[in-house]
């Protein structure tokens, strides 16, 4: 199925050549041919020389049964760029989702949950933090103090991207940070998803208690080639789930917001997305209460402060998108009918440089 499909056909606008939009990477082929092996394949972004996240391949093949993931360090990281001079075939899985307490490459981290109510002045009482990234979820405010217990801490909102990050559903949780904005188009240069906002803290019988952390944003992946690109497998850039707010008989901290889905950009001379293709850049579920079986049934117990959806952005001179492809992302298709030799820059004018197509891979 398609989600929020947009079609854009652009001619040659010389004025566009002067825009500030960044061009796609053109591979120099220095990393040779990449062929993923059956099972999990890890490309290590922590190795010296790989901090840019850019790989310069000749050809790329991710066959059925192979999964490609990326090892990243803590802290801000760039998006992943898989550039090639020749054919790219993806029939296995490439995954840049948030996982293991880290955002996907290029994504924003979830905001920390708050601790304590608004009146607390102890050193360990802190406000919740907004999510990281371009449209990080709003932080839930710490609870209002009142006698033996405070009001509930506010829920953080989900991180935004192609669709808004949501505030908590008032029928499930009645105090929430406001929803987060969305973007009209894929950001250039590409970035990953946005982290969810942390939930506010609270107090019960003088004991200061915490809200949930926001989920991390999904990563960003660009695949560019001077040749053809076939996608018959799976691309994943899902956001992380918001954490629960601590809860007891007296009240609750605010649940964290979900991280948004990340972003994909495909740039090639010719692109085919087959019926078997799956693209998922969905936001993470919002958090729950600590007394609920949250991870067993998020749809039932999440407060629906979910992260927004990411982009699946495709630019080529010729393309075919099969109607049965499963595209859980906001889809933007740019067909750019340029003559050979004229560069394509930014957005719907991304860099292909057809005149510099190389011969067979070395």
Q: How confident is the model over 164-179, as pLDDT tens digits? A: 999 999 999 999 999 9
**Helix H segments across 236-316?**
298-301
- Whether residue 7 is predicted with pLDDT greater than 50 in this model: the reply is no
| Predicted confidence band of residue 336 (pLDDT cuts 50, 70, 90) | confident
pLDDT for residue 290 is more than 90 = yes
Residue 339's pLDDT is: 43
Q: Which pLDDT tens digit goes with each residue over 74-88?
A: 888 999 999 999 999
Q: Which long-range contacts (CB under 8 A, 24 or more apart) does 71-74 make?
A: 71/42, 71/43, 71/44, 71/45, 71/46, 72/45, 72/46, 72/102, 72/105, 73/45, 73/46, 74/102
Residue carrying the six token digits 């293991």 = 100
Report the DSSP pairing between strands 234-236 and 247-248.
unpaired
Mean of the pLDDT values across residues 309-327?
A: 97
| pTM, to two decimals | 0.87
Domain ranges of the chain: 103-228+262-317
Lowest mean pLDDT among 180-194, 233-247, 341-355: 341-355
Residue 271's pLDDT band (boundaries 50, 70, 90)? very high
Give the model's pLDDT for residue 25: 81
In tens, the pLDDT along 342-359 reads 343 333 333 332 223 333
Whole-number average pLDDT of the chain: 87
């Amino acid at each position: 199925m398609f989600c929020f499909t947009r079609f854009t056909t652009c001619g040659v606008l010389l004025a566009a050549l002067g825009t500030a939009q960044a061009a796609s990477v053109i591979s120099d082929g220095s990393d040779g041919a990449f062929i993923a092996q059956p099972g999990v394949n890890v490309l290590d972004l922590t190795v010296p020389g790989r901090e840019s996240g850019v790989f310069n391949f000749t050809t790329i093949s991710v066959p059925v049964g192979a999964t490609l993931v990326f090892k990243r360090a803590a802290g801000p990281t760039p998006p992943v760029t898989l550039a090639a001079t020749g054919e790219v075939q993806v029939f296995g899985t490439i995954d840049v989702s948030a996982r293991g307490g880290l955002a996907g490459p290029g994504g924003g981290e979830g905001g920390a949950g708050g601790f304590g109510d608004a009146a607390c002045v102890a050193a360990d009482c802190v406000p919740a933090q907004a999510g990281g990234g371009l449209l990080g979820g709003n932080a839930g405010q710490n609870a209002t103090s009142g006698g033996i217990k405070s009001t509930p801490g506010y829920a953080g909102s989900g991180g935004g991207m192609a669709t808004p990050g949501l505030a908590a559903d008032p029928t499930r949780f009645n105090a929430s940070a406001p929803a987060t904005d969305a973007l009209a188009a894929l950001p250039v240069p590409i970035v990953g998803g946005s982290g969810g906002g942390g939930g506010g803290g609270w107090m019960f019988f003088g004991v200061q208690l915490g809200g949930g952390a926001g989920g991390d944003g999904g990563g960003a992946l660009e695949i560019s080639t001077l040749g053809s690109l076939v996608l018959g497998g799976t691309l994943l850039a899902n956001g992380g789930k918001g954490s629960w707010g601590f809860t007891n008989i007296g009240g609750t901290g605010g649940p964290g917001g979900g991280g948004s889905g990340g972003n994909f950009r495909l740039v090639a001379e010719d692109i085919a997305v087959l019926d078997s293709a799956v693209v998922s850049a969905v936001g993470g579920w919002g958090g729950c209460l600590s007394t609920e079986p949250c991870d067993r049934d998020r749809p039932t117990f999440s407060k629906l402060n979910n992260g927004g959806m990411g982009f699946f952005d495709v630019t080529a001179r010729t393309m075919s998108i099969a109607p049965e492809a499963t595209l859980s992302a906001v889809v933007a298709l740019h067909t750019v009918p340029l003559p050979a030799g004229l560069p394509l820059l930014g957005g719907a004018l991304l860099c292909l440089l057809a005149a510099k197509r190389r011969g067979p891979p070395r």
